[in-house]
Amino acid sequence: MKRYAALIAFSLSFARILAAQAGTTMETKGTVFAPPAFYSFCSREPGLCSTFGGKKVVALRSELSSELKQVNRSVNSRIKEVSDRAFVGKDDDWRVPTVSGDCEDIAILKKLELMRRGWPASALLLTVARYRGQGHTVLTVRTNEGDLVLDNLTNSVRDWSSTPYSYFARQAQGNGKRWEQIGAAKPIRTTAAGD
């Protein structure tokens, strides 16, 4: 009986490990307002605001996974994070940074660099969350291995459900000017063939 109970406990712990390693996608629950500075950004940079065209989910091969990590690390090392709030009287202003910027500027640059490398805009979604009581923006990349986050606070590229953030909204696929509220994590479902 002890051996049987130990086998069940081992099987359950192994199943939990596999579930933790499996990717998840963001469930969306309807339309919400975009961050206010997003609209002026879209009028200046419609191409970077877009989520139209291309595959909505990228098949993540090893070279593409390496490319995500390289872009995340490279931008994080080149761009110094400076909050818009550091400048008294300055409103939030979303831009493509060259030397410094805040979290949304850094996420925008990562989107730009991936698009230049051929990644579809429809799989690269600006996403807002809360972290330690503050707003935070990351780039979410939709892949067949889950929704992955490129973040200026870490060089790791992680599944969104493995980050310490409370996610609120992201750009809608196919209509980047519309934003959707984020709900629960949905596990990736794959067949034996990997579809």
* Interacting residues of 156 by C-beta distance below 8 A, sequence separation 6+: 72
Mean pLDDT (the chain, rounded) = 85
Listed in order, strand segments (DSSP E) in 49-157 are 80-81, 100-101, 124-131, 134-143, 146-150
Cα distance between the two ends of the chain: 40
* Interacting residues of 30 by C-beta distance below 8 A, sequence separation 6+: 180, 181
* Backbone torsions φ then ψ of 158, nearest 5 degrees: -125, 160
For residue 83, what pLDDT is reported? Answer: 76
Q: Is the pLDDT of residue 171 over 90?
A: yes
Q: Report CA Rg, the chain.
A: 18
pTM for the full model?
0.84
For residue 67, what pLDDT is reported? Answer: 97
Question: By C-alpha distance, which of 115, 89, 75, 91 is closest to 41?
Answer: 91
For residue 1, what pLDDT is reported? Answer: 45
Residues 180 and 169 sit within 8 Å (Cβ to Cβ): yes
Q: Is the pLDDT of residue 99 over 90?
A: yes
State whether residue 78 is helix, strand or coil: helix
Other beta carbons within 10 angstroms of residue 102's beta carbon come to 23
- 100-101 and 80-81 strand pairing: parallel
Q: What value does the mean pLDDT take over residues 140-156?
A: 97
For residue 46, what pLDDT is reported? Answer: 94
Distance in angstroms (rounded) separating the CA atoms of residues 118 and 120: 6
For residue 98, what pLDDT is reported? Answer: 94
Q: What value does the mean pLDDT take over residues 92-120?
A: 95
More confident residue, 87 or 68: 68
β-bridge partners, 175? 172
Question: Apex CA 162: angle with CA 141 and CA 32, to 5°?
Answer: 55
Percentage above 90 pLDDT, the chain:
74
Residues 101 and 137 sit within 8 Å (Cβ to Cβ): no
Distance in angstroms (rounded) separating the CA atoms of residues 79 and 97: 7
Q: Is the pLDDT of residue 15 over 60?
A: no
pLDDT in tens, 22-76: 799 999 999 999 999 999 999 999 999 999 888 999 999 999 999 999 999 999 9
